[in-house]
Structure 1
């Protein structure tokens, strides 16, 4: 197999591993608040929103040490062991206890930082400047199939159910636990990429550039020294002009991640106007979010080769798509739906609630999210090729801390205020992304001119 074919296969395997694992975990996150509301036990006092807020808070802090872990363990084993923690979190819902629920929330936060930093590192070292956009789109499209398969199962299993029984819950979460474990083992199929022909470039990196033991890259350094260097580099990158500007679109990606992955499904399940099938709409909504994600990731990956205008048009499309979705949700969903009790909301929306319109909004949420995330992954991998692990750690640090804040306020804020926050941050984040992309295009044009 040619070197380029091997790296493309690695990207596909990486995407498939995330697809299978997040088929379980994304479905878990989408339904956990609804499941907890239906769980009848005096021994359990947890909140799905609070758990997700803990996960993303710990996630944000752990991103500071994630590059150090990857420098010592390597990205491949980092993916596997992080995935095991994800599986344990899902298994907690088979029979929830408050202590184990929140303990695993903390551990998943740590594992998530290592998992996503390793993913960014592997994606970058298996890409060139000319293929990073394509590979980002391929990975994103494959991963987002997870939303389709998991939520299709939820829709079929919970259709026409107004209450989730203990048997329903246990069946779903045993299945999801097994699926997540299968995804973890797929990471072992990733092969070591062939070395770059120019060794001088590789020697400048502070982190390992393949999936083997990191001591092969810098043999004179101890593992502690490599970990310390990785940590220092993360702090240095966070202070660069590009990262400071990109921190706003990073933050927006965290806010809208919270909304489509946890809040919106809860809103649909709380809408008594949708009838007895409201709980089943959570799964159907997740499917259509996944369709939007897959379509966006696939199209933007294919278009990357022929996109003469850079990443800005895709990000702008994402902003417009989300603003339209937020406006329609504001009209269609009751204002107290995010914080409604288990029996649902009695408040009226601004228009007669429509299931079709609610599901169209799900698709738009997924499409807009793919616009932002594929381009954020692409620009981080392009700008910080030699420091991909620290750079992606900074990306996930900002994204996760804003997601944590959003999950905390989702317990209290009405729908209109949550939508307004996302519109304001999304608009500002799009502007700052434009500035960074224009600078990147200008730098690339100057480099092409110098090489003539």
Structure 2
């Protein structure tokens, strides 16, 4: 039937995938942005009661997530060979749901246990997503589909943080009732996102215009778990992946900054008074707005991007981030990532400048991530699972390192690390893009 064409099935799958991830990460991204403040309040709550003392730390929990995530990425392609991308994503999403549930009754041992579990779940969820995105795209639609998925995914920052803002606004400390109200809602979103994954449809594979040749399980030329692992190791050693790893590492560092550190800075800035906790939600919404506008714009520009190169968009994101880091440097106290503070800043601390920076963080992040997604799908169409697993491995290692040093480094040193990594990462991406564009012009379809 004409209405059930391969194009329609592909586009349906991309939209359903984006909606599912939007719901799952409405829960997770909102939780990660508020985690440090929520758990610090839970510590104070346990100290004022006769119950078991809670000693969990938000930065440590997030660091555990990304450490386990990074290690698990080497196993993820092998798992997807056995389960297929749809089932692997569903299992991973349920572990995210379990993580969100754990905040209803914070316990130190449970916090770190589910942090480890969600790290494993993230590996199979994201590697499955990269594989599923690639097999539902071709060389002409990969940029468009990356933009559509990214824009839908980042709607999570709008909805989750809007909810967070209305629950937490006006609070100096997050009470048990507020925490429960917040995480009951987020748990519902995570569970609904898992259910949405069950509605993904199997793509027909008989058409000659497929980007990849698929076996009976929907996988690209990977027959055994051991073969998948070997392909990951081989791919990691290629010149293209080694250079691209610098750009990927930068996305991990700035992911840590906008998803955990920046919201903590706002929460710890005493100048904002009783608005400080509510600003966590507003900041998240504007980060989401930047992500959505960027993803939508770059998706609409897919044909021009294919013609003129992805490096232009990445350099745009680089300029946006550098301007943003400078504004953050002069607007927020240096000690704000670590402790509540009212120390002097280089300008009068302004909440509107702080929220503008949130938007710029999201816009710049979408520039890097959509183009890396597109480049990986274009360069490694037959190795999509290993390629996206390596992407998440490098990104999560960088994020784990950043969450670790975030407990110790003041704001200016964290920003300096981001400036250096962003400069080198933008250059390395451009070098790979120039090479891939030249090969495309010579008639090649992949590197």
Equivalent runs, 1:250-399 vs 2, <5 Å: 250-307=248-305, 308-340=307-339, 344-399=340-395
Match of 1:41 in 2: 46
Contact 1:74-1:208 at 8 Å conserved across structures? no
Match of 2:17 in 1: 14
For residue 399 of structure 1, report the CA deviation from its aligned partner. Answer: 0.3
> CA 1:439–1:121 in 2, change beyond 3 Å: closer, same or farther?
same
Distance 2:162 2:290 in 1: 15
Structure 1: any 5+ residue segments left out of the alignment?
none
Contact 1:250-1:398 at 8 Å conserved across structures? yes
Equivalent runs, 1:90-101 vs 2, <5 Å: 90-101=100-111
SS in 2 for 1:26: helix
Partner residue of 2:34 out of 14, 31, 37:
31
Q: Deviations over 1:150-204 (max 9, x none)?
A: 000111121111111111101111111111000001011111112143499855x
> CA 1:429–1:45 in 2, change beyond 3 Å: closer, same or farther?
same
Structure 2: any 5+ residue segments left out of the alignment?
48-52
Match of 1:412 in 2: 408
SS in 2 for 1:144: helix
For residue 349 of structure 1, report the CA deviation from its aligned partner. Answer: 1.4
Q: Deviations over 1:256-293 (max 9, x none)?
A: 00000000000001111012111100000000000000
Match of 2:156 in 1: 146
SS in 1 for 2:170: coil
Greater alpha carbon shift after TM alignment, 265-274 vs 193-202 = 193-202
SS in 1 for 2:8: helix
Contact 2:80-2:128 at 8 Å conserved across structures? yes
Distance 2:61 2:206 in 1: 43
Distance 2:369 2:444 in 1: 27
Partner residue of 1:231 out of 229, 232, 242:
229
Which stretches of structure 1, 4 residues or longer, exceed 6 Å deviation after superposition? Answer: none
Question: TM-score under structure 1 normalisation?
Answer: 0.93
Distance 1:89 1:316 in 2: 36
SS in 2 for 1:93: helix
> CA 1:404–1:448 in 2, change beyond 3 Å: closer, same or farther?
closer
Partner residue of 2:93 out of 45, 65, 83:
83
Distance 1:359 1:200 in 2: 43
Distance 1:33 1:197 in 2: 49
Q: Deviations over 1:208-263 (max 9, x none)?
A: 772xxx6xx88xx9xxx611100110000000010000000000000000000000
Contact 1:196-1:202 at 8 Å conserved across structures? no
Contact 2:135-2:212 at 8 Å conserved across structures? no
For residue 306 of structure 1, report the CA deviation from its aligned partner. Answer: 2.6
Distance 1:254 1:209 in 2: 31
Distance 1:231 1:284 in 2: 42
Q: Deviations over 1:124-174 (max 9, x none)?
A: 000000000000000000000000000001111211111111111011111
Contact 1:67-1:231 at 8 Å conserved across structures? yes
Greater alpha carbon shift after TM alignment, 302-311 vs 243-252 = 302-311
SS in 1 for 2:301: helix
For residue 314 of structure 1, report the CA deviation from its aligned partner. Answer: 0.3
> CA 1:409–1:184 in 2, change beyond 3 Å: closer, same or farther?
same
Distance 1:414 1:378 in 2: 35
Q: Deviations over 1:84-114 (max 9, x none)?
A: 1101111111011000100011111111111
Contact 1:59-1:113 at 8 Å conserved across structures? yes
